[in-house]
Amino acid sequence: MKITIITAVYNGGESIATTLRSVAEQDHEDIEHIVVDGASSDATLEVVRTVGRRVARVISEPDNGPYEAFNRGLGLATGDVIAFLNSGDTYASGHVVSRMAQAIAGEGVHAAFADVSIVDHANADRVIRRYNSSKFSPERMSFGLMPAHPTLFLRKEVFERVGAFDPSFRIAGDFEHCLRVFIKASLPYRYINEAIVRMPTGGISNRGWRSKLTITQEMYKACLMNDVKTSFAKLCLRFPLKMLEMI
């Protein structure tokens, strides 16, 4: 089974090396790693050339955000299964891709996902919380709850069926795409009870209250677009649930 991993990056010269090494260390033999750079002005491309020994394709051109970058990667992807690992994120071990390939290989399984360890940006050994996907169900998406996207492996045919990402979203494009996958298309999935990705703090979706407001507004928009009944207040209920992950 060929696995395509798409890494979107912009000015990630100080963070992308760990991601490149993490993919290079995977024991799954058939990996296609595509790096989509948004015309970085730092040393990103030099790092990719020197460290990315398993990178199959690199493109570098201006884009309008991560979801446009994802779509460009999708246009180049030739794998049977597609996953996304952003600059700075790493797999928890060298067995992650082979483990997820095994999980999605089951008959009728179109998606597989697991948990993420949110780690201190300055100390990757310090786990702040675990993004737990175990209680995910399509119905809970009306509360803004979704599988941890960096762990999500989707068969390529899923994108052929539900389409690519909507680049009009700044932060919640992955949420909107998951609405199409798990609610509109009702595709079968499998959960793996492991934290397979380590994500440093400071990402675009957790940069203070302004980003939380923006992502909630975008989630509400996404639900309206996909005929999912919710409210702004209902979507905000996900915040106390996330606080419980730190206990």
Give the pLDDT of residue 75. Answer: 97
111: exposed, middle or buried (Cβ count in 10 Å: 0-12, 13-18, 19+)? buried
Cβ pair 112, 188 in contact under 8 A: no
SS3 72: helix
Question: How far apart, in whole angstroms, are the C-alpha atoms of residue 54 and residue 184?
Answer: 35
Give the pLDDT of residue 244. Answer: 62
Q: What is the CATH number of the domain that holds 215?
A: 3.90.550.10
Report residue 230 as tokens.
Answer: 């919710």
Give the pLDDT of residue 125. Answer: 86
What's the sign of the alpha-carbon dihedral 203, 206, 210, 215?
Answer: positive
Question: How far apart, in whole angstroms, are the C-alpha atoms of residue 75 and residue 78?
Answer: 9
Question: How far apart, in whole angstroms, are the C-alpha atoms of residue 17 and residue 48?
Answer: 7
Q: Residue 80: which domain range?
A: 3-244
Tell me: the pLDDT tens digits for 58-109? 999 999 999 999 999 999 999 999 999 999 999 999 999 999 999 999 889 9
Q: What is the dihedral of CA 245, 229, 181, 62, to 10 degrees?
A: -80
Give the pLDDT of residue 245. Answer: 56
For residue 2, the Cα-to-chain-centroid distance in whole angstroms is 18
List the Cα angle 114/202/6 in 5-degree steps. 50
For residue 222, the Cα-to-chain-centroid distance in whole angstroms is 17
Cβ pair 175, 144 in contact under 8 A: yes
Question: How far apart, in whole angstroms, are the C-alpha atoms of residue 168 and residue 199?
Answer: 24
Report residue 32 as tokens.
Answer: 């296609």
Structural domains in the chain (count): 1
- Residues of the chain below pLDDT 70: 203-209, 241-247
Cβ pair 192, 106 in contact under 8 A: no
Give the pLDDT of residue 209. Answer: 63
